[in-house]
Amino acid sequence: MIRGMRDVIVAANWKMHTTPADAGELARSIASRTRVPGVLRVICPPFVSLVAVAAALTELDADVGIGAQNVHHELQGAYTGEVSAAMLAGLATWVIIGHSERRRDAGETDELIGKKLGRAVEAGLRPILCVGEQLQQRETGQQSEVVQRQLRGALGNLEPARLVAAALVIAYEPVWAIGTGLTASGADAAAMAGVIRETLGELGFPDGGEGIPVLYGGSVTSAAIGEFMAEPSIDGALVGGASLKPDEMAGIVARAGVTAAARGSTE
């Protein structure tokens, strides 16, 4: 698959924001203001707001995917407070796996993330697998090694063909550039996208991983997104805080649409 055929995706990660009472209206506002050809839009609300968001988007007849922010690695059992892939059936079609905050706050390991990924694929959910390095790792030049290790740990026990069929997406999160005041450059993101696809190729993905979309996920804003979308190896964004602001989402998706249109014209 050539890069022009990769999906251009903007995924909104609302994190622990919104309630069922206000999530629907926010989803409607974002969906109505981000209708841009060639861009796949995904909204990932908290578990408790999945139904409200789904209902709001159905009423609007909006072509927006709905994603969960996490999934458990077991099908069922004595796991208080957890949500399995089967429970998400009918509520979501996408799922974020291995977000840096889950790795940090819940101690999720690459092995555990790989199990979650397998469950998501079995359930027919489209996974967004997050990888990325901490500040100390970046400062000591370990960023490539860290991301390679994360990818091998999460993907090593899964068949590449299954992951390609599940339309796997990778989100590169430079953790050091999230909420710290530090910023990554488009060149930084492109270099890491190259590392990601090189590693996917080593793991047996067809075409050296060129068919797998790579999103940028480091404090994305409408003002900054252009630098990242200008990189041919970057296929969209995983948006955090800015995804709660319809104006910001409108600007981000509009810029992603420029990339989608340019790629379409070269196919």
The answer for residues whose C-beta is within 8 angstroms of residue 140's C-beta and 6 or more apart is none
Give percent above pLDDT 90 in the chain. Answer: 91
- With b for 16 or more beta-carbon neighbours within 10 A and e for fewer, the 23-52 pattern comes to bbebbbbbbeebebeebbbbbbbbbebbbb
User: What tokens were used for 252?
Assistant: 């981000």
Shortest CA distance to 130 belongs to which of 156, 106, 102?
102
Q: How many domains does the chain have?
A: 1
Domain harbouring 133, CATH code = 3.20.20.70
In degrees and rounded to multiples of 5, residue 167 shows phi and psi of: 60, 50
pLDDT attached to residue 179? 78
pLDDT attached to residue 2? 47
Q: Can you give the residue range of the structural domain that contains 239?
A: 3-266
Three-state DSSP state, 232: coil
Shortest CA distance to 98 belongs to which of 201, 192, 173, 179?
173
Structure confidence by residue, pLDDT tens digits, 77-122: 999 999 999 999 999 999 999 999 999 999 999 999 999 999 999 9
* Residues marked as catalytic: 99, 173
Looking at the whole model, is its pTM more than 0.85? yes
